[in-house]
Chain A
Amino acid sequence: MKTVLVVGGTSDVGRAVALAYATAGWCVQLAGRDGPGLEREAADIATRTGMAVTTHRIDILDTDAFPAFADTLPALPDTVVSVVGLLGEQARAETDPVHATTVMRSNFEGPALLLGLFAERFLARGHGTLVGVSSVAGERGRASNYVYGAAKAGFTAFLSGLRNRVAKRGLHVVTVKPGFIRTRMTAGMKLPARLTAEPQAVGDAIFRAAETRPRDVIYVKPVWALVMAIIRALPETIFKRTKL
């Protein structure tokens, strides 16, 4: 039986990913910071699917603890999915370096180092799949969220480089750019319906891209590819005058 490790397991997307894998008959290792929250999601997934689900504590900012974390897992997973992220507040990040650092480390440093560590172990074993949930915000820095966007850009570049290095050695690396998702993180925001995905659709799309119809980079809603192509193509002289 195959096993997936989902890091960020108590988020709406993390839960959806874990449920998609368990529904397909995978064992799940659910990892995150919030112990009671993890137990609640693990019981839910196990009860719904009948699959074995274990829980594991990890703080994505505590990078020193990563090797020990990986060592204590009951088994080296076949797939690791990182859905860790922190939107933060752009305005605060502009004047509060501590907050800016937390946003950068949560979206880039932590997830990148963690997937990097599993990449080494997967290489030693000879196979494995790594999935990083990045963001369309990483494709171009915008006034409204460039601290978050820059960190995601770093993560996207890291995944791309990692894929370039390990593709010939049996590893599969997937970059996911979900666009807007209806979650607790975006509760109360006005989201355009056509561009907004439900968490379960993101979970199912990730499972498909990673396991059934392998892809390298996916947008969950295909329309995002078009939207971002236009945003990327705008010359900087024009872009700097826009309000995005």
Chain B
Amino acid sequence: MSVELSGWGRYPVAATDLLQPASAQAAAAMVAGRTGAIARGNGRAYGDAAIGEETTVSLLGLGRMRAFDPATGWLTVEAGVTLAEIVAAFLPRGFFPAVVPGTQFVTVGGMIAADVHGKNHHRDGGFGDHVAALDLMLPDGTRLSCSREQNAELFHATIGGMGLTGYILAATIRLIPVETGWIRQRTLVAETVADTVRLLDAAQDATYSVAWIDGLARGAALGRSLVYLGEHATRAALGGAQVPYRFGPAAKAGPGVPFDLPALTLNRLSVAAFNEAYFRLGAAKAGPERLVGWRPYFFPLDGVADWNRIYGRNGFVQYQFVLPAARSADLLPDLLDRIAQRGSASFLAVLKRLGRGGGLLSFPFEGHTLALDMKMEPGLLAFLAECDRLVAAAGGRLYLAKDARQTRSTFEAGYPGLARFRDIRRRYGLEGRLASRLSRRIGL
């Protein structure tokens, strides 16, 4: 069945055959003989990573859990199980995934393939660092058990490998014990970009840290931000109001990141007004610690269904890069200033501190990563190409799970593990058989 598919940013849109196997056996039978095929999870990558060159294989039908060991926290599930299902089943039993991205509507396969990072990357690494084993299917139907001991090379290539090493059928991942579903959050106000970077760097011991930058502020206020630090709250830390809801209120919790807005039309004025209000509200809450429920803390946008539609029919791109820690202080102001000058309608930019990378093509390395949404409009691609040059020249790289437009040369400059990755693809006979729009565009 041929369909039109896009990623979460709704740009680009491409035609592809779509296969929807209901089990691993069905998947093996369906992919046999296919070329230019790629796995797809829940389509939360922003660009074209999960659109096959010819064929896209949705693995949402592989949605069964297999086993859980409460003594160790290891959970084995099929790759199409979503983070939302895992949290729903295990948070009430006192466990939370070791690493989560900013939405719970992603699959385990998608989180491994992108080696997603959370607000704790500086301390705990990426999702891939908490995978013990995975069950990988090559395009000819062969199934391999991969771990740090077994088929180790393929294991490291698959983490962050964007589906280009095979179909992840199942994985064993780590959940950590938590006493409650609440986060003790502290808000710090940073007046400048230098302040922001300093506060994040000083918070290396915090479990979670993230900065929300006002992407429109200029001049002296360039890069002003609210830095949020978080720790899992213990049972003893809960106050009277939270005690009956030890694992967080069932519905959307009240305070936290105020994100109930996008009825606003997106123009420079409304966004600037929003950012202003956001900062005042946030700054007013700075200082003492507050308890925030897990939903608004980790997944602030999940409460707004289909928010990706607010950017209109042409969609949007998310621009996310990482810069080496030593280069951030001089390059971030320049990049932020260009973005603010252009006035691209982005609500807030997110800045995080990343730690060491995991897989061969994993995005994170020791440095600072900035992510912001930009509406697709004339001139945007040329503008971002200019930004790419600055990022690449500084030794930075762009995140493949967010990418919809970088060129092959930007990619090659940013990912030194590429030669080994290509070699592994060649040796396992994967070239040509596994290919996405992304891989074709960047020459993978």
Interface residues, chain A, with chain B CB atoms under 8 Å away? 37, 40-41, 43-44, 47-50, 184
Contact = CB atoms under 8 A, between A and B. Distances in A.
Interface in B19-78: 22-23, 64-68, 75-77
Contact of A43 (B23, B67, B85, B93): B67
A41 B64 contact: yes
A107 to B, nearest CB: 23
Contacts of A184: 22
B24 to A, nearest CB: 9
Contacts of B75: 47
Contacts of B89: 47-49
Nearest to A50: B93
Contacts of B93: 50
25 contacts: A37-B23, A40-B23, A40-B64, A41-B64, A43-B64, A43-B65, A43-B66, A43-B67, A44-B64, A44-B65, A44-B66, A47-B65, A47-B66, A47-B67, A47-B68, A47-B75, A47-B76, A47-B77, A47-B89, A48-B65, A48-B85, A48-B89, A49-B89, A50-B93, A184-B22
Interface of A, secondary structure class, is helix
Interface of B: 22-23, 64-68, 75-77, 85, 89, 93
A47 B408 CA distance: 43
Given A40-B23, A48-B85, A49-B89, 10 more contacts: A40-B64, A41-B64, A43-B66, A44-B65, A47-B65, A47-B76, A47-B77, A48-B65, A48-B89, A184-B22
B18 to A, nearest CB: 12
Contacts of B22: 184
A40 B76 CA distance: 12
A38 to B, nearest CB: 12
Shortest 8 CB-CB contacts between residues of A and residues of B:
A47-B65, A44-B64, A48-B89, A44-B65, A43-B66, A47-B68, A40-B64, A48-B65
Contacts of A49: 89
A41 B22 CA distance: 12
Contacts of A44: 64-66
Nearest to B89: A48
B75 to A, nearest CB: 8
Contacts of B85: 48
A82 to B, nearest CB: 22
A184 B22 CA distance: 9
A226 to B, nearest CB: 29
Contacts of B64: 40-41, 43-44
Nearest to A37: B23
Nearest to A188: B1
A184 B21 CA distance: 11
A40 B23 CA distance: 10
A145 to B, nearest CB: 24
A47 B183 CA distance: 26
**Which of B22, B65, B85 neighbours the largest number of chain A CB atoms within 10 Å of its CB?**
B65
A122 to B, nearest CB: 32
B87 to A, nearest CB: 12
A48 B76 CA distance: 11
A65 B57 CA distance: 41
A145 B46 CA distance: 45
A95 B115 CA distance: 56
